[in-house]
Amino acid sequence: MRKMTMPDAHVSHPNVTPLIDIVMCLIIFFMLVAKIGVSTGAEAMDIPASIWGTDIKDMGNTLTLNVRPGAVEEPQVTALVKANGTGEARPTELKLRDPATGQNQLLNTLKMYRKQNDQFKVIIRGEADMPYRFLEPVLVACADANVRNVNFNTKKISERTGG
Amino acid sequence: MKIKGAKAVHYDSGPNMTPLVDVVMVILIFLMLAGSFGGVEHYLVSPTPVTKTGGGANKSLVPDDVQYTITVDSPQGFGDRFVAHAGDLATSDMAKLTDALTRKRKEFNAAGTSTEKVLVFIDPGRTVKYKFLIDVYQAALQAEFTKVSFRPAH
């Protein structure tokens, strides 16, 4: 008589292939949409909010100016500036009146960028509670440098929340 | 004596996928944390940032543009308030300001002046906060004016 034996127990492992497919899709998605290591010189500050606004696709022709109220009646303006318009950009404070030379560093920088690039744009990031008297000299410098396009960076809010 | 019959059935489990899943999950978590996404900020564009008295330095300003001024002031001692004056209207309600500007734009259009020929100036006081100017700027954009600029502080 043939002896009947129990068949070997076989634990079926879950099929992980679809999981890997989904995870790989997610990785590719995040690699494409995330901006890692791209610095525009924008500093953390409480900027105003607006419902309307446009997005800037090409940030290559822009210079971001961070404007804050200064110690005296002059604004404190910082930006990521390339020396002579070439090379590595470094965070720089652009004084409206350099105490040593008396020059307007902000105006000189804007003129330098404008001379090199006809499509040069300025992005202004200002503290929401900053009085206009601190923003005005920056706008005047932009006008003097013949900057044709000034963009005010704002937080995006929906019409429902209203900020 | 144990007689072995046919070969035992062997299920081929394939390569071990667990380390691959671990590595992929770590990469995914890194990208989720390290990446920063757009969509939380945008920009209000001003083609002519500011003009000085007498025409300004910006060569793109067309001399025969029709100018319309919105004056913005903060009452003395009340830095957290503002009043926008557009024609006969004096308000801090942006909805009312937008309606007034829209009516004004339609008046210009009805009179034969296209929106591209109208330059809206925002004339702020020295103490008006930047966020209020952005609200006024946005009201002008919502009224479909395309050229909005700032004057030096009065």
Rounded-to-integer distance, Cα B27 and Cα B53, Å: 58
Cβ within 8 Å, pair B51-A143: yes
Q: Given a cut of 60, is residue B2 above it in pLDDT?
A: no
B124 touches chain A (CB under 8 A): yes
Phi, psi of B33 (to 5 degrees): -85, -35
CB B59 to CB A146 under 8 A? yes
pLDDT value at residue B4? 59
Q: Give pLDDT tens digits for B90-130.
A: 998 999 999 999 999 999 999 988 888 888 999 999 899 99
| Pairwise pLDDT comparison (B109 vs B2), residue with the higher score | B109
Look at A89 and B89; give whichever has higher pLDDT: B89
Question: Is residue B10 included in any domain, yes or no?
Answer: no
Question: In this model, does residue B49 exceed pLDDT 60?
Answer: no
φ/ψ of residue B118, rounded to 5? -105, 125
* A138: Cα within 13 Å, side-chain hemisphere: 32
Give the three-state DSSP class for B71: strand
Q: How far apart are CA B81 and CA B83, in angstroms?
A: 7
Closest chain B C-alpha to A87 CA, distance in angstroms: 25
Q: How many domains does chain B have?
A: 1
Q: Does A6 touch chain B (CB under 8 A)?
A: no
Nearest-by-Cβ selection for B31 from A16, A34, A149: A34
Spell out the domain ranges in chain A.
49-156
Q: Does domain A49-156 have CATH number 3.40.50?
A: no
CATH of the domain at B72: 3.30.420
Whether residue A53 and residue B42 make contact (CB cut-off 8 A), yes or no, is yes
Q: Are A148 and B60 in contact (CB under 8 A)?
A: yes
More confident residue, A42 or B64: A42
- Decide if B105 contacts B145 (C-beta within 8 A): yes
Low-confidence ranges of chain A (pLDDT < 70): 1-2, 6-13, 35-39, 84-86, 159-163
Nearest CA among B83, B68, B69 for reference residue B128 = B83
* Averaged pLDDT of chain B: 80
Position B133 scores a pLDDT of 93
At residue B130, the pLDDT reads 94
Give the Å distances, CA to CA, from A28 to A20, A37, B40: 12, 17, 22
Interface test with B, best of A152, A155, A161 (most B CBs within 10 A): A152
**Residue B14 falls within a domain, yes or no?**
no
ipTM score: 0.74
Q: What is the pLDDT of residue B55?
A: 35
Domain that holds residue B114: 66-150
Q: Strand, helix or coil at A134? A: helix
**So what's the pLDDT on residue B119?**
87
pLDDT in tens, B3-28: 555 566 666 767 777 788 888 888 88
Give chain A positions within 8 Å (CB) of B152: 136, 140
> How far does chain A reach from its first CA to its final CA, in angstroms?
85
